[in-house]
Amino acid sequence: MKQTWRWFGPKDLVSTEDVAQAGAEGIVSALHHVPTGAVWTPEEIAQRQAEIAHMTDGSPSGLDWAVVESLPVSEDIKKQQGAWREHIANYKTSLRNLAGAGIEVICYNFMPVLDWTRTDLAWRLKSGASCMRFDLVDFATFDLHILARPGAAEDYDEALRDAAARRFAAMDDPAREALAGNVVFGLPGAAERFSLEDVRAHLAEYAALSEDSLRSHLIDFLSEVAPVAQELGLRLCCHPDDPPFPLLGLPRIMSTEAQYAQVMQAVDIPANGITLCSGSLGARPDNDLPGMMQRLGDRVHFLHLRNVKRESTEIRGSFYEAEHLGGDTDMVALVEAVLVEEARRRKAGRADWSIPFRPDHGQDILDDLGRRTQPGYPSIGRLKGLAELRGIIAALSPRVSA
């Protein structure tokens, strides 16, 4: 299991020195400044590789660009509208340029409109630490009363509508603005930021798109790009929906094991693979993460290891980002399943036997609390998570390899 670390480039308040001192072996990054749909040029890729390879004083960092996260898929591709064919052509060119730079693993997602969604980016825990949280009442408050989405009331039962109305009435204008900002925050470091009007416009364009149609568009996209990736020796890996249930009336197509299996079978080549995110998938109580690794592990090319604590037993419910070993996913069982898969790959002679992982979404603890890094990506909280995961790996590896 190759230990990696997400880094947002030179503007990231967590430096390459911090990453090296944490003991990570590689960097997960992207060209966040390049507009979605545009080509990633060899020059831009080389620039990011050089930034990763050096510390701020110019000395070698010992790190490499191990995983791209993300090479984003445009909304036009997802909707098959506008410049979607041009964007697919550009995606293929970007894949060729990444392969030319020696980068093999490319993570992406197919979530419509918004990337991951939270209602609080710094929710205070009893310990004094803070974490990200998804509160279903807050989200309904945003959907019903701030965004005022047409038809939103049909997505919530009477009790939830009443709770949202009470919460909205108790909020002042700054609180309402803060909630809206949290929900549309999306991917940290991304080139684009959505306003409420942007969200409304995208939702209107998605109104006629069903789950089956969106899945068909994903399969069409993969039918074009996955053979190119296969030819180039690349591994594409789709990140799950986060959270893994419908929001804003939008379809969700990568939220369960069955949905993943369907897409893997539709484009059945090794380059078409999975980013197994234990936090995203773990927010849904009917997802069995160790079992998913056992059954789909052959196509898992990248791992996000984090944990969430669910606050209900419902498919759609509130949750918060827990400590890496403190949530509802059995992280020990999941890591063991990963190590078993790696042992199977080594025995089969696969060059990709070592699956890269990163400690995802750490809690803000200690000095993190005053550094104001990207939400979910503090230095000390992730270091704690990496240390815990490293301990599990060290303890299980001799038993699995015996």
In the Cβ-directed half-sphere of 193, how many Cα atoms lie within 13 Å?
A: 8
- Quick one: 135 exposed, middle or buried, by C-beta within 10 A (0-12, 13-18, 19+)? buried
Is 361 an annotated catalytic residue?
yes
**Residue 224 token pair:** 């074009």
Spatial neighbors of 13 by CB under 8 A, at least 6 apart, are 371, 372, 373, 374
Selecting among 206, 320, 361, 368, the annotated active-site residue is 361
- Concatenated DSSP letters of 62-80: --EEEEEE--PPPHHHHHT
Is 304 an annotated catalytic residue?
yes
Strands, sheet with 105-109, edge to edge from the N-terminal-most edge strand = 4-6, 26-29, 64-69, 105-109, 235-239, 272-277, 300-305, 357-359
Selecting among 145, 202, 301, 304, the annotated active-site residue is 304
Please count the residues of the chain.
402
**Rounded distance, CA 80 to CA 216, Å?**
10
Computed from CA positions of residues 279, 280, 281, 286, in that sequence, does the dihedral angle turn out positive or negative? positive
Contact assessment for residue 145 and residue 165, using Cβ atoms and an 8 Å cutoff: yes
Maximum distance among all Cα pairs of the chain, rounded to whole angstroms: 62
Is 360 an annotated catalytic residue?
yes
Helical H runs in 110-195? Answer: 136-141, 158-170, 173-183
**Rounded distance, CA 345 to CA 348, Å?**
5
Spatial neighbors of 123 by CB under 8 A, at least 6 apart, are 130, 131, 132, 133, 320
| Residue in this structure with the two tokens 């009917």, named with its chain if needed | 286
**Residue 171 token pair:** 């909020």
Strand-pair category, 130-134 with 319-322: antiparallel
Selecting among 135, 360, 364, 368, the annotated active-site residue is 360
- Quick one: 9 exposed, middle or buried, by C-beta within 10 A (0-12, 13-18, 19+)? middle
- Quick one: 196 exposed, middle or buried, by C-beta within 10 A (0-12, 13-18, 19+)? middle
Selecting among 32, 87, 145, 239, the annotated active-site residue is 239
Residues known to be catalytic: 239, 277, 304, 360-361, 377
